[in-house]
Amino acid sequence: MPRPLGELEDAVMTRVWKWNRPVTVREVLEDLQQERSIAYTTVMTVLDNLHQKGWVRREAEGRAYRYEAVSTRAAYAAALMNDAWSQSDNPAAALVAFFGMMSPEQREALRDAVRMVQGPETPAPQNPPASPSEQSPAATEGDGGR
């Protein structure tokens, strides 16, 4: 399972995920510099580390690289939750405690997610189909009486 990203790794990946396109070190640097003082080489090292860890792929463009996320932030969050849950000695109790921490909006999102995973529910037929012996002769004529 993935280890949680460090603070700077998360700041870099947040931009890569948000922009959802290949990015350069310079682009990430310029955006990060709006929040903090940071060097080009630091951002380059973080992106290289993220590449080595498999979080981003890169493609050469001239003398630089363009970096692109390998998976989504949602997949990252899901993997962290799964890892934490699997370490519990009582997974049901862990889920109950987790649900208790959720806001009403988060619980509604959870209900929506469960509905999506379960798929559309097929409504029960209002009138069950008649058995072959109950079908009218017209209904069985077209299939040769079968």
pTM for the whole structure = 0.69
d(CA 56, CA 67): 6
Task: Give the pLDDT confidence score for residue 120 in this predicted structure.
Answer: 74
- Residue 3 pLDDT class (50, 70, 90 cuts): confident
Task: Give the pLDDT confidence score for residue 39 in this predicted structure.
Answer: 98
Angle at 65 between CA 59 and CA 68, to 5 degrees: 60
Residue 135: pLDDT over 80 = no
d(CA 134, CA 2): 60
Tens digit of pLDDT for each residue in 78-130?
999 898 888 999 999 998 999 999 999 999 999 999 999 998 775 555 665 55
Residue 141: pLDDT over 60 = no
C-beta of residue 80 within 8 angstroms of C-beta of residue 2: yes
**34 residue type, one letter:** Q
Among candidate residues 56, 48, 54, 16, the one with its CA nearest the CA of residue 32: 16
Task: Give the pLDDT confidence score for residue 128 in this predicted structure.
Answer: 55
Tens digit of pLDDT for each residue in 5-50?
999 999 999 999 999 999 999 999 999 999 999 999 999 999 999 9
Task: Give the pLDDT confidence score for residue 126 in this predicted structure.
Answer: 66
Tens digit of pLDDT for each residue in 54-85?
999 999 999 999 999 999 999 999 999 898 88
3-state secondary structure the chain: CCCCCCHHHHHHHHHHHHHCCCECHHHHHHHHCCCCCCCHHHHHHHHHHHHHCCCEEEEEECCEEEEEECCCHHHHHHHHHHHHHHCCCCHHHHHHHHHHHCCHHHHHHHHHHHHHHHCCCCCCCCCCCCCHHHCCHHHHHCCCCC
